[in-house]
A and B are shown apart, each in its own frame.
Chain A
Amino acid sequence: MIALKRLLRDRVASFGLALVLFAVLVALFAPWLAPYPEDAFESHILQRLRPPSAEFPFGTDNLGRDILSRVILGTRSALVVAVAVVGASLAIGVPVGLVAGWRDGWLSDLLMRVTDVFLAVPQLILALALGQLLAPGLTTAMLALALTYWPFFARTVYAETRRLRGALFVDALAGIGASTPRILLLHVLPNAAPAILIRATIGMGFTILTAALLGFLGVGAAPPDPDWGLAVAEARQHLPEAWWFPTFPGLAILLLVLGFNLLGDGLRDIADPRLRRSRH
């Protein structure tokens, strides 16, 4: 609660929070908010590539579909992908980081070396390769993103666990006979939570960005799904005439990712009070 209060005092971070909340609301009520919800799948060739107007505020695309509706409908898939990918990355990265950080030894070394290997792979290329090898599609893209993002969580949790295992309260707990899993899950993990939360918030933004890129490169969402990255790709052939076609889906990506990044930035400021102190 104190953290939330501090966050709201920070104007830039509150703006981020507002953007994220707005996107969540839009995603939840997308079918009711979209002026032409059926445009997710239907096309209207006769009204293709219309510029923005009162009827179609964002214009129409190459198949005559309302871009505003598709941007609204695309919010849902963007958020679902981000939540799923970050969730899966957490599910792999957090246990790896906890185990590797708790005790030094061969297991810790092995886990962190594996993490390093995954970090050394160019993320996008690995995602692209996986996407291609396992039949391109949104599920594959999500799997690929999770496989390339978990090392960041493993690193974060590893560092936090190492820091916390030296803390006095951990020694005290071990002294009164608490079991290792109990210490890790009930005491170390909650203390590492702020760092994980910050990482996850930034990861949401990053995932939305990369998923859009995969969609753009043709290994993510497939037509006719209302996907922002895919829309930008479809717009390429219609430039420079239909400037509105790539502009609005791209702005949607920008705003949502900006929201998560500003929020993550604000959370980091709260977690790291050193940087809040004013300069002397």
Chain B
Amino acid sequence: MARYVLRRVLLALPALFGLVLLTFVLTRVIPGDPAAALAGDSATPAQIAEIRVKYGLDRPILEQALVHIRQVLTGDFGRSIFSGRPVTEEIAQRLPATLELTFAALFLATVIGIPLGLVAALNHNGPVDQLVRLLSVGGLAIASFWLALMLQLVFAMDLDILPLRGRVDVDLGLPPTVTGLATIDSLLAGRFDQFRDAIWHLVLPAVTLCLPGLASIARFTRSGMLEALQKDFVLYARAAGYGSFRLYTIYVLRNAVTATVTQIGLLFGALISGAVAVEAIYDWPGLGTYAVQAIVTADYKALLAVTLVVGVVYAVVNVLVDLAQALIDPRVAEDVR
């Protein structure tokens, strides 16, 4: 098992290295003259030349690439061109907010999606199955930014039962940082008012963000169940006298969710992308709003760092998914030998 995990980690490294190179190409080579882009439209040639020297853009491209790689490896992304603060610091501050949001969405998607898929499969081609199918296809068809706006319109503006935007109430503030997740930190601090507030603020963004994930988890669980139900061991278990509730919820479901777990890993990337839109609308102080701000202000250092951090998170999640696969199905870890 340990060897299997190590192997998965090593496999993730080339992709990350490629990502570092790709970000370099994107930020330094494609724009034509990054110095001019940095300086803005109204800059004089002298100002552009100054910026070029300041950021080392006058160096040979290979040297720039090596410097870039060294900086990335040491976690030094320089200072934000927009705020002047170290990019690493700014990201460390915002990453927990995004993680809290995506984990909440993933949690919702899983605890609703898996039972939905299960029920649909047991009702194969019946009315419940068709309904779940429509829901799961529809969930992937809704534009998250539009859904966010509609939910705001109904629940925050019209009914006024949920907060419109933000992560916490200004008067209550954030609990002392331990994990960086407002829900957990407030509990650790024993501040139930802050906990309630954090959950309250989390509801709309998490619901918006979870929908596509919920849709694909339901769908993958459904097809995984349908496939698993065809297996001989189901028939055998029924003949041997398994109880049907246990048979479907535990015995068969565990086979069915291997595909779902892979899907959850892939989803995480989509969730982070989705978070950009959702954060922008709900004013969620996470990486998504940071990325949008970096793009609007042409802050290429910040953008580069966000892309890499998200890439690393994505890689870590996928290693975790491989690990979960191996725990669910003991054959997985042995296949690679």
Contacts and interface: CB of A to CB of B under 8 A. Distances in A.
- Touch between chains A and B, by CB atoms below 8 Å: yes
Given A12-B130, A257-B141, A274-B227, A243 B307 contact: no
B291 interface: yes
Interface in A94-132: 113-114, 116-126, 128-132
Given A120-B16, A232-B149, A280 B291 contact: no
A216 interface: yes
B310 A212 contact: no
Contact of A254 (B130, B143, B281, B298): B143
A239 B140 contact: no
A124 B276 contact: yes
B122 to A, nearest CB: 8
Contacts of B18: 113-114, 116-117, 120
Interface string B262-304: 0000000110111011001100000000011001101000010
Interface residues of B, number: 61
A240 B141 contact: no
Nearest to A256: B141
Interface stretch (B26-34, B106-114, B190-198, B201-209): B26-34
B321 interface: no
A12 B132 CA distance: 12
Interface size of A as a range? 35 or more
Contacts of A9: none
B84 interface: no
Main DSSP-derived SS at the B contact region: helix
Interface stretch (A173-181, A183-191, A245-253): A245-253
A12 to B, nearest CB: 6
Interface in B230-260: 230, 235
B15 A133 contact: no
Interface of A: 12, 113-114, 116-126, 128-134, 205, 209, 212-213, 216-219, 229, 232-233, 235-236, 239-240, 243, 246-247, 249-250, 253-254, 257-258, 261-262, 265, 274-275, 277-280
Interface of B: 14-16, 18-19, 21-22, 26-27, 30-31, 37, 121, 124-125, 130, 133-134, 137-138, 140-147, 149-150, 152-153, 157-158, 223, 226-227, 229-230, 235, 269-270, 272-274, 276-277, 280-281, 291-292, 295-296, 298, 303, 306-307, 310-311, 314-315
